[in-house]
Structure 1
Amino acid sequence: MLFETLTVEAGGHPLQLSAQRAAFDPQLKCLLIADAHFGKDAVFRAHGVPVPAGATAGDLARLDALIAAYRPDSIVFLGDLLHGRESLGSETMQALIAWRARLGSVRVMVVEGNHDRNAGLLPPSLDIETVFEPWVFGPWALCHYPQAVDGAYVLAGHQHPVYVIASRADSVRVPCFRFAARCGVLPAFGAFTGGFVVNRSNDDAAIYAVAQNRVIAVRKPA
């Protein structure tokens, strides 16, 4: 495997955290991705913001590496697969359809997020199922919005959690995984995204930061 993983327990169940900002359930053989925001660069350019192209291609290359490493039976996007309606444009869709074709029989689902609703219906040629939260799969309640669900441990996205690593002279924001007693939040997978700083969260959530291609426990479970 070309990147580091760290196995943790979430709600009493094993979950492998990847330095590529994804999680893998080794029992279900399910790859979990939050907040890919494919086509966000196209949305910005459509609104006159001259950002460079290429974010979607780079994110799909990382996703291909994860698939090659884990060989999942299924892939679930925890909402915000696309960023906006302009993400349905030909360039982004052609890249996604070509990526989906490479997967063959792997089942792919997206838990509808707020950006997915704004983007509109996925074309049937993409062969990605849309499900609605909370979608129970094995021990998990898979959601876009962090929440509590009776009888299951929630895995969600939406918040784009980041952790600030600071010295006296400098600081850097890095993506992180955050696991509270009943809900875990994955970092945004998309490279072209912002983040919500969780350093000062006043609960006992465990935090695992992604830094220099490693997953580091910066706050361990209580």
Structure 2
Amino acid sequence: MSIEALTIEVNGHALMLSSERAAFDPLLKTLFIADAHFGKDAVFRARGIPVPAGTTGETLARLGALVAMHRPESVVFLGDLLHARESHADETLDALAAWRAQHRALRLVLVEGNHDRHAGALPAAFGVDVVKEPHRLGPWALCHHPQTAEGAYALAGHEHPVYRLATRRDSVRLPCFRFGPRAGVLPAFGAFTGGFEVNGNVRGESVYVIAGERVFPLSGRSSSTIAAS
């Protein structure tokens, strides 16, 4: 698995944006993941919708590749770690337990999101610390719902942002990072998640689009430096 990362500066702090839809703080040695929605495929099948299995394994493989690349000390999930109560199906929990057994040294933190409240917590054996938003860590206020926080730059999820690039004949919706003066939103990490098109909502923001193994700024809209106002 090939992963590329683009390092930008956000309010004076380095942040690496990954082509695998995650962000890494190299100073804090912390990986930020938004909206993993583990077990969403199991939820759909439990509710009678015949979707393929395997998306949890695919998402965990990508997470493992990011851990191998960045060697973080902590992973912070910016909400919606699980999709719903049916995510506690054996197939999902067994896959998560196997991944956790391989990464016991990692500290895992979950900033509780709306889906997490409905899904219920993972068993204590998984060793996930659950915190409320905004959770302060270094220069960041870590949230699930996009918002601003006094004295910190907010990083959030929830929105599942995508940006539509179009030609005269065709168009494509690509996951993206978006950064405003005081808050940024990460793309959804999960392999089985939809996207909210943000084209009409990014005036004055820096937008970074993910296309395959590349992360690149939208021409004329983005900068490698985002400064809080």
Fold match by TM threshold 0.5: yes
CA distance in 2, matches of 1:78, 1:184: 12
Residue 210 of structure 2: SS of its match in structure 1?
strand
| C-alpha distance in structure 1 between counterparts of 2:119 and 2:142, whole Å | 20
Superposition map of 1:142-161 within 5 A: 142-161=142-161
CA distance in 2, matches of 1:10, 1:87: 35
CA deviation profile, 1:9-67 (whole Å, cap 9, x unmatched): 12221100000000000000000000000000000011100000000000000011000
Name the SS of the counterpart of 1:100 in structure 2.
Answer: helix
Q: Which residue of 2 aligns with 1:69?
A: 69
* Contact 1:17–1:23 (Cα < 8 Å) also in 2: yes
1:115-126 correspondence runs (5 A): 115-126=115-126
1:35 lines up with 2:35 in the alignment: yes
Q: Indicate the SS of the match to 1:200.
A: helix
The residue type equivalent to 1:134 in the other structure is P
Indicate if the aligned counterparts of 1:157 and 1:185 stay in contact, CA closer than 8 A. yes
In structure 1, runs of 5+ residues without a counterpart are: none
1:98-157 per-residue CA deviation (whole Å, 9 max, x = no partner) reads 111111211001100000000012201111111110000010000000001000000000
Q: Which amino acid aligns with 1:47?
A: R
* Number of corresponding residues: 222
Distance between the aligned counterparts of 1:43 and 1:146, measured in 2?
26
Q: 2:26: which partner in 1?
A: 26
CA distance in 2, matches of 1:28, 1:2: 24
Distance 2:113 2:72 in 1: 23
Q: 1:171 to 1:96 in 2, by over 3 A?
A: same
Are 2:193 and 1:196 aligned? no
SS at match of 2:63: helix
Map of 1:220 onto structure 2: 222
CA distance in 2, matches of 1:24, 1:75: 9
TM-score, length-scaled by structure 1: 0.97
In structure 1, distance between residues paired with 2:144 and 2:78: 5
Residues 2 and 213, structure 2, Cα contact 8 Å, conserved in 1 = no
Deviations 1:152-193 (CA, angstroms, capped at 9, x unpaired) = 000000000001111111001010000000001000001111
Aligned-partner residue type, residue 77 of structure 2: F
- For residue 213 of structure 1, report the CA deviation from its aligned partner: 1.1
Q: After the TM superposition, which residues 55-204 of structure 1 pair with which residues of structure 2 at under 5 Å, given as runs?
A: 55-201=55-201, 203-204=203-204
Contact 1:41 1:55 in 2 (8 A): yes
In structure 2, what residue type is equivalent to 1:24? F
Unaligned runs of 5+ in 2: none
TM-score (normalised: structure 2): 0.95
Change (3 A) 1:156 1:202: closer
In 1, the alpha carbon distance for the partners of 2:92 and 2:153 equals 33
| Equivalent AA in structure 1 for residue 222 of structure 2 | K
> CA distance change for structure 1 residues 210 and 202 in 2, over 3 Å: closer, same or farther?
closer
Q: Which has the larger displacement, 179-188 or 117-126?
A: 117-126
* 1:176 partner amino acid: C
- Contact 1:10/1:184 (<8 A) preserved: no
Instruction: Tell me, in whole angstroms, the C-alpha distance in 2 between the residues paired with 1:213 and 1:116.
Output: 30
Amino acid at match of 2:117: R
Secondary structure of 1:61's aligned partner: helix
Provide runs of 4+ in structure 1 moved above 6 Å. Answer: none
